[in-house]
Structure 1
Amino acid sequence: MPVSRSISCFLKAIHMKKRLAWANAHKDWTKDDWRRMVFSDETKVNVWGSDGVKYYWKRPDDKLRFHHLDLTVKGGGGSVMMWGCITYDGPGYACHIYDGTMKKEDHVHILDTTLMDTLNYYNYDPKTIYFQQDNDPKHTSKVKKSLV
Structure 2
Amino acid sequence: MKRISIKDVEPKAYLAMLGLENYISSSAISPFLRELIKIRASQINGCAYCIDMHTQEALKIGETQRRIFALSAWKESPLFSEEERMVLHLTEEVTLISADGVSDETYDNLVKTFGENVVAQLIMQVIIINSWNRIAVSTKQIFE
Q: TM-score, normalised by structure 2?
A: 0.31
Indicate the structure with greater strand content: 1
Q: Larger Cα Rg: Structure 1 or Structure 2?
A: 1
- Bigger RCO of structures 1 and 2 (CA < 8 A, at least 6 apart): 2
Q: TM-score, normalised by structure 1?
A: 0.30
